[in-house]
Amino acid sequence: MKLDFGVLFRLVLAYLRVSLGIVALLLALSSPLLIPLISSMEICSSKKALLSGAMIFGVPEVATIVALCLLGKERLQHIRNWFVRHLLKLKPSRHSTRLGYYVGLLLMVVAGPVMNIVLFYFPTFGVDWMEYRKVIALACDITFVAAIFIAGEQLWRKIEAIFRFEPTTTLH
């Protein structure tokens, strides 16, 4: 059996292009998440500002262009369609019960604004639990997002209606 190095080389090169393209795409999407790590580093503040700005404005754009060049339009569309197909499964159900709607609304009001206002604007309110402030804030944020899904699509429509402008026409 004769081994064709040309075919093997093209297969390895195609696999490498796809792998590097996916890594570049992941870097583009996750680079803003590195900002807290950069801000906790022991470097001067001007370098922190430069690196943080690059993680927001420079790195995602360059990495996206690199991913587009490596993956190609068809593969990038295939990856995008896969993500959209799987993200649509997370959409809340069509019908929500009255109990689910009000529980979700209550969780949104309590866990969202109320707890974050108490945590950050009135730090002397709960001195004993102030050392766990970041954990409590993260739990409140997760509860706030989960409450939107608990409340169902009726709440989604109401939130969407707030941000949608529908001009009215009047006949004179």
What does the DSSP assignment read for 60-80?
HHHHHHHHHHHHHHHHHHHHH
Predicted confidence at residue 97, as pLDDT, reads: 82
Map tokens 């001195």 to a residue.
127
Predicted confidence at residue 1, as pLDDT, reads: 59
Predicted confidence at residue 27, as pLDDT, reads: 93
Predicted confidence at residue 93, as pLDDT, reads: 59
Predicted confidence at residue 153, as pLDDT, reads: 78
DSSP 89: G
Predicted confidence at residue 54, as pLDDT, reads: 92
Interatomic CA distance for residues 92 and 149, integer angstroms:
5
pLDDT tens, per residue, the chain with 172 residues = 576 888 888 889 889 999 999 999 999 999 999 998 998 889 999 999 999 999 998 999 999 999 999 998 888 889 889 888 887 776 665 677 888 888 888 888 888 777 777 777 777 776 677 777 778 778 888 888 888 888 887 887 787 788 888 777 776 6
Q: Are 25 and 66 in contact (CB under 8 A)?
A: no
Interatomic CA distance for residues 6 and 165, integer angstroms:
59
Here the tokens at position 22 are 């996916």
Q: Are 71 and 17 in contact (CB under 8 A)?
A: yes
Predicted confidence at residue 8, as pLDDT, reads: 85
Closest CA to 108 of 161, 145, 137, 133: 145
CB within 8 Å of 64: residues ≥ 6 apart: 24, 25, 28
